[in-house]
Amino acid sequence: MRRELGMATALLCLCLGLWASNPDFLGQSNVVNTLRQISMLGILAVGVGFVIISGGVDLSVGSMVGLTGVIIAKLASTQTGGLGYSLWLAIPVALGCALLLGWLQGLLITRLQLQPFIVTLGGMLLFRGISQTIAGGGTISLGGSPLLGLAGGGLFGSDEAPFLPYPLLMFLGVIAVATLVLHFTVLGRYLYAIGGNREAAEFSGIPVRNIEASTYVISAGLAGVAGVAYAAYIGQMSQQVGIAYELYAIAAAVLGGCSLRGGEGTVLGIVIGSAVMRVIDNGINMFRYAYVDEAGVPRLWRLDTNWTFVIIGAVILVAVALDQIVHLLQNRRCTTALETARLQAIATQQPDC
């Protein structure tokens, strides 16, 4: 838990620094909106975390978010381009498509022994193309659909800024189920075993191919759930929705302690990583520094929003570098301990009489 504690401390310091620079950072409307953003990214990152822990990678989740939202908008919208069906039909159909596509990707990776990077990269482009075809290259508006209340509504407080927005409640449910599965079930132990040493897991009798395929189903399913939340939040869907979301999700998982080598990571870490990503994104807009220039005129300096990707990219590189440094130190420590034990064993050997 040391890595999670370190990230939580960094998150707390980041929030305090932003609050000191701009008290509006902890204003109710900004806090509620940030919680929505953290929740939607977190749902996506938890699914990606399952894949990463097992030693794989899923680049298609961003396009899956867009495809799920486009299917919902196409089926449920009463505006131009929509079919006007009930949400009770649109949402299950969209989630069913997400699960089916995730299962197909899992089969390609586990049965045909294709590289996860190539399969999910192809899936990313394929799903985005399907979204573009369904939307006709344009935008489908959800208009006055009741689904919009999912993002804007919540429990307690006012309708404009509820203390517990519905996306946060969805995220808490995902956290509870994911924690149970990953840390308290046989499936979770199998995932860590496969990510740690795939060949050893196979020799131990673990159904490696089935477990690996299930992670892509889980990832696609949670991407579908995130797609429902994003559709409600944005209110109109096109093939542009979801672009680069997979990079944010992978970055959140890596920041939270999921090693790209597999076999490491926790749900708590992914939650903290998602919060760090969204707080940085929000902080770039909220940060300000008040000062007085040489002429005695009060000035206000803000971060240039054009630096958003520069800052986030730098954070990701630092996180990956720290992960590599930690592994190098751990390997060096293990090597030193083994060498010390070997020398002690040689020193304590008694000569034969």
Instruction: Kindly report, residue by residue over 175-224, the tens digit of the pLDDT.
Output: 999 999 999 999 999 999 999 888 999 988 899 999 999 999 999 999 99
**What are the boundaries of each domain within the chain?**
2-289, 304-348
**What's the pLDDT band for 313 if we cut at 50, 70, 90?**
confident
Bridge partners (DSSP) of residue 48 are none
Instruction: Specify whether the CB–CB gap between 242 and 62 falls below 8 A.
Output: yes
DSSP conformation letters of 94-119 = HHHHHHHHHHHHHHHHHHS---HHHH
Q: How far is CA 178 from CA 55, 163, 198, 324, in A?
A: 17, 24, 22, 26
DSSP conformation letters of 47-62 = HHHHHHHTT-----HH
Cβ-Cβ contacts under 8 Å for 326 (sequence gap 6 or more): 3
At 49 the pLDDT is: 95
From the number of C-beta atoms within 10 Å of its C-beta (0-12, 13-18, 19+), residue 308 rates as middle
Cβ-Cβ contacts under 8 Å for 3 (sequence gap 6 or more): 257, 269, 326
At 99 the pLDDT is: 96
Instruction: Specify whether the CB–CB gap between 76 and 84 falls below 8 A.
Output: yes
Q: How far is CA 246 from CA 59, 114, 193, 251, in A?
A: 6, 20, 25, 8
Cβ-Cβ contacts under 8 Å for 293 (sequence gap 6 or more): 299
Mean pLDDT of 96-118: 95
Lowest mean pLDDT among 75-89, 139-153, 253-267, 298-312: 298-312
C-alpha closest to that of 269 among 284, 253, 280: 253
At 53 the pLDDT is: 95
Cβ-Cβ contacts under 8 Å for 79 (sequence gap 6 or more): 140, 141, 142, 143
CATH topology for the 2-289 domain: ABC transporter involved in vitamin B12 uptake, BtuC (1.10.3470)
C-alpha closest to that of 63 among 245, 249, 274: 245
Q: Collapse the DSSP code of 236 into the 3-class scheme (helix H, G, I; strand E, B; otherwise coil) and give the result.
A: strand
Structure-token pair, residue 244: 């680069």
Angle (CA) 197 175 265, round 5°: 25
The gap from C-alpha 337 to its chain's centroid, in whole angstroms, comes to 36
Looking at every residue in the chain, the average pLDDT score rounds to 88
What is the C-alpha to C-alpha distance for residues 269 and 247, in angstroms, rounded to an integer? 17
**Could you identify the residue written with the tokens 């420590």?**
333
Instruction: Kindly report, residue by residue over 134-180, the tens digit of the pLDDT.
Output: 988 889 888 778 888 888 788 876 666 778 889 999 999 999 999 99
Instruction: Specify whether the CB–CB gap between 41 and 170 falls below 8 A.
Output: no
pLDDT of 283 above 80: yes
Instruction: Specify whether the CB–CB gap between 11 and 275 falls below 8 A.
Output: yes
**What's the pLDDT band for 352 if we cut at 50, 70, 90?**
low
Q: How much of the chain, in percent, has pLDDT values that exceed 70?
A: 97
Structure-token pair, residue 39: 């929740």
Lowest mean pLDDT among 94-108, 167-181, 298-312: 298-312
Q: Following CA atoms 194, 263, 126, 95 in sequence, which dihedral angle do they give, to the nearest 10 degrees?
A: 90
Q: What does pTM read for this prediction?
A: 0.89
**What's the pLDDT band for 10 if we cut at 50, 70, 90?**
confident
pLDDT of 225 above 90: yes
At 351 the pLDDT is: 57
pLDDT of 319 above 80: no
Q: Which residue has the higher pLDDT, 130 or 163?
A: 130
What is the C-alpha to C-alpha distance for residues 200 and 187, in angstroms, rounded to an integer? 16
pLDDT of 3 above 80: no
Q: Which residue has the higher pLDDT, 1 or 90?
A: 90
How many helices (H) and strands (E) the chain has is answered by: 13, 6
pLDDT of 320 above 80: no
Structure-token pair, residue 189: 């132990």
C-alpha closest to that of 316 among 262, 277, 269: 277
